[in-house]
Structures are given as C-alpha cells and as structure tokens.
Structure 1
Amino acid sequence: MPDAHEDKRPLAERIAAEIRQQIMSGEWEPGMRVPTNAKLTEQYSTSNVTVQRAVQILKDEKFLEGQTGVGVFVRSKAAQTIIPASYMPPSEPGQPYRWLSEATKRHQNGKYKMLKVGEVAPPKQVAKAMRLDENGTAMLRSRIGFLDDQPAELVHSYYPIELAQGTRLADRRLIPGGSPALLNEMGYPTRSQDDALAARSATTEEYVHLEIPRDIPVIEVFRIVYSDDQRPIEVSILVKPGHRFKMGYHVETP
C-alpha cells in the first residue's frame, strides 16, 4: 500500500490554512480580535516565530488586519455569497443590468468597466460550447465588475458572431440592461444556463485586474447560456477573488 498523502507544507502555512478556513466559514467573525501569539503558540504546539509567520501570511492575504498598539483583528467584511440564479432573468425595460440592481439591494455600489470588445477566435472550450467549427469566431466582451470600488469579477463573454454583428454586442459601450435584456429584445430569451466551477491560481491578467493578494486562488465559473432549442447564445468565463466571495446555489428536490 502506498504511504498516505502527507501535508508537507511549512507549519506556518498549515496554521494559516486552518485560520483562513475559520474566517471563511464565519467561525472567526469580522472584527474579532485574534488570540494572542502566546495562545496560538500553545494551541498549535509551535514557536512564536512560526505563529508570527502564519499571522503575517494572513495579513498579506487581507484576512487579518493589524492595529498598531492594539492587536490583530479579523478583516471587517465577511466573504460574500453570490447567487448566480438571481442574475439570470433579464432586467425589466429601463432598468439597469441585474448584477447592478442586485448590488443596490445589498446596499453596495456596483459598476462595470469595459476592457475589450471585438471579434476573436475563442478558446477551445468556448468554441466547443458554442458549437463552432475549427475556424469559427465569436464576439468577445471583456469587463471588470466593481462592488464598492473593489474589483469583484473579471468577465470574458462570447457571443455567436451572426447574432452580435451590427448590434450593441459589438459596441464597446456598456449595454443598458445588460446583454440578457438585449438578447431578449432580439428574440433570444434566456431559457437555462450551465455553470461549471473551478478553483485555481490566478493568471497574471486576473492577478492584476482583481488585485489578488499573495497566492490566493480564484473562483472560475464557466457558464453557457441557452435560448430556445438549447441554442447557446452566450458563453462566459467569470473569475472572482477566492478570499472575498463564495458561490451560492439553491436546488429543489425533484
């Protein structure tokens, strides 16, 4: 029998991982004062130097905040749970994109910044989802979403070129009501979507745009949106900072 898989990370990293989980789960609540180094040293049966390294890791990752002369505290805001299903229906006429209106309901200020719009040869997984041939192209719309002026998501959305050309999908400006509302007006209502989630290290683009601290992983959502007859009308790759967000899903029992 092969040996059991061992955690060979330095002890400081293992301690940081334990505390990180406590913070993400809410066991350590926002604003809570962190136990003293002496208590953590006793709890983890290690040295003060190792505990200091673990605490510094979590400070660098923005999980902990130090207050000079006072102590170390859990960050003031808990990880936010995002419910993808709440953004699926198109906005009502004259209303902002649902991602923005949902932010307002949570008393947050949401906004988008467009990065790129243009016809491209999409990545293989996108081309496959869109059922494109080998030389097929798609319309790409890339943007960053901000919540309270902090980068919350980097989104690359692809649309069938025959649907997008000559429409606002090909325009660099933001679309009033968002792409779901526009596609609905064009006769392509959203009927369903498939999401595939992954956790991975950030690319340089993601690291820069999302202001990822240290080696925090990102949450990737690969989304296919279908209209009538299961026609894919949008394929998106959404990336969120893993230390600030969770993805929430509600599933009804058949």
Structure 2
Amino acid sequence: MTVPGPDAEAADHRSLHARIAADLRDEIMSGELAPGASLPSTVQLKERFDASNATVQKALQLLKGEQLVIGRAGAAVTVRDHRQRTVRPASYMAPAGSGEPYRWLTETERNGSRAHTALLEVAEAEPPADVAEALRLPASGTALLRRQLLMMDDEPVELVSSYYPLEIVRGTAITERRKIPGGTPTLLATLGHPPRLSVDRVSARVPTQDQYQALRLPGDLPVLRTLRVVYSDDERPIEATLMVKAGHLYELQYEFAAD
C-alpha cells in the first residue's frame, strides 16, 4: 500500500477556475486590486495560472456573480466600487440618544450609503444552544426573538436575530412587531438594564438555507457569524444576538487600547 506524502493531504482539490477566483477574490478584498482597477487581461491570467481561456472565463463569471467585478465580453473586467465594507461594531453598540435613530442606520449613512431595516419576526422562541447558554436559560427555555434584515443601498447585508430574557422584556415595546426608536439598546437602558459589556464570538460558517436566501448569496461562499452577548449590571446577560453577513463582502474591525 502506498502511503501518501505530506504534500498529498495539502493539495488543493478545488477546480482550477475556483482556485483562480479565490486568488483574485483575495487580491480584491485586500485592496491589491482596488475599486475601479482593471483585472489582468485574459491572456495574462491564462499565463499566470496555466489555464485555458474557458477556465479563466468561468473564474471571472464567479466574481461577477459575487458582484465583486463588472465587465462584458471584449472589454476589461474591473473591480466594482465600494464592494467590500469594513464594519466597526463598537461604533453602533451604545444606545442612541433621545429621539435619534438606531446607531447602525446613522453610522451607515455617515459612510455614504442608504440604510434601512426590515423587521421579519417578533415571537417567543427556543433559541439555538449557544444563545440559550449565553442567556443562562434552562433546558428547553424560551426567549423573545426579534429578527430583522439590515439593508444597505437596497441590498441585504446582515440577518440579525436578537434574543431577550422574557422576564426583562415581557409587557414592553420589545415584544411588539414594530420598530423601536433608537433600537433595543436604548429601550433596555430606560428599563434599568443599560449595556455595560458586549462580548463577540466571530466564526466563518457555511450558510444555512435560510441565510442563503435572505442574504441573496451568489454561491458556496462562507458567511461571517457573530454571536454578541450584552451584559448589564452584575454581569447579567440582557441580549444575545446572532448576526450573519456575507463573508466575501465584509470585514470586522475591532480596536483595542493598550493596558
């Protein structure tokens, strides 16, 4: 029996056109290929990747389907403007001021995009296991779910499912199917549960069917899944939110001060 060497296990078994798209996608997302820049010509890509014309075109079609590049037959393919966005969670975690809209909306519009939210569901529900653990719920315990889709320039950008302990929100506006001025952080603060600490757990996941459809994802690309747990006084968890966004279009930026 032949024992495979170490290189055999490390081989990239993806199709060549998927590998070409992956390399170009990384260059686009890192800024090496900036918005408005032309991609190398088909001839250059054929030479670089030792690929046929048809294989290169299949790779470019993947990137076009992901809305990372634009172009047509016989013309240069260019990187689309403003496709990758950097999200700074700390900029919209604090409660909004009196009469102000939800911070995500103001921060998005400050960066030059049109933003709105679509409230999809408000219901009592049994949360996923990691959310239930974060909220310290008993076995088969339920929480109040508010599920919404965040839209930017008429495109879905994030599917947000927020869960709240029932003993905190029962009888409040959070249980109603309507938008809350300033967002739930503001209302929770007025109820005597101001956010004191937020903890994020970020992972890359294969999208579920629901996520795939809601975010209009183009193909087999990962999503960024953030589980954010918000704690109030006495380290009491008051909110656990699952936020899912397309991994090929967004990056998260966190800032940490030195001790």
* Structure-1-length-normalised TM-score: 0.96
Contact 2:64–2:70 (Cα < 8 Å) also in 1: yes
Query: Out of 170, 176, 179, which is 2:175 matched to?
Result: 170
Give the direction of change, closer, same or farther, for the CA distance of 1:2–1:40 in structure 2 (3 Å limit). closer
> What stretches of structure 2 of length at least 5 have no aligned partner?
none
1:192 to 2:197 alignment: yes
Aligned with 1:71: secondary structure? coil
Aligned with 1:67: secondary structure? coil
Aligned to 1:3: 6
* Structure-2-length-normalised TM-score: 0.94
1:144 to 2:149 alignment: yes
Aligned with 1:197: secondary structure? strand
Aligned to 1:237: 242
1:176-206 alpha-carbon deviations (Å, 9 max, x no partner): 0000000000010000111011111211111
Aligned to 1:54: 59
1:60 CA displacement: 1.9
Contact 2:126–2:141 (Cα < 8 Å) also in 1: yes
Q: Which moved more, 1:97-106 or 1:153-162?
A: 97-106
CA distance in 2, matches of 1:59, 1:157: 33
Question: Superposed, which structure 2 residues align to 1:1-254 within 5 Å?
Answer: 3-4=6-7, 5-254=10-259
CA distance in 1, matches of 2:120, 2:250: 22
Runs of at least 4 residues of structure 1 off by over 3 A?
none
Aligned residue pairs: how many?
254
> What stretches of structure 1 of length at least 5 have no aligned partner?
none
Contact 1:61–1:216 (Cα < 8 Å) also in 2: no
1:55 CA displacement: 1.4
CA distance in 1, matches of 2:17, 2:49: 10
1:115-137 alpha-carbon deviations (Å, 9 max, x no partner): 11011111111111111111321
Q: Which moved more, 1:51-60 or 1:226-235?
A: 51-60
1:78 CA displacement: 3.4
1:100-129 alpha-carbon deviations (Å, 9 max, x no partner): 111121122111111110111111111111
Opposite residue 172 of structure 2, the aligned amino acid is T
Opposite residue 76 of structure 1, the aligned amino acid is D
Q: Percent identity?
A: 44
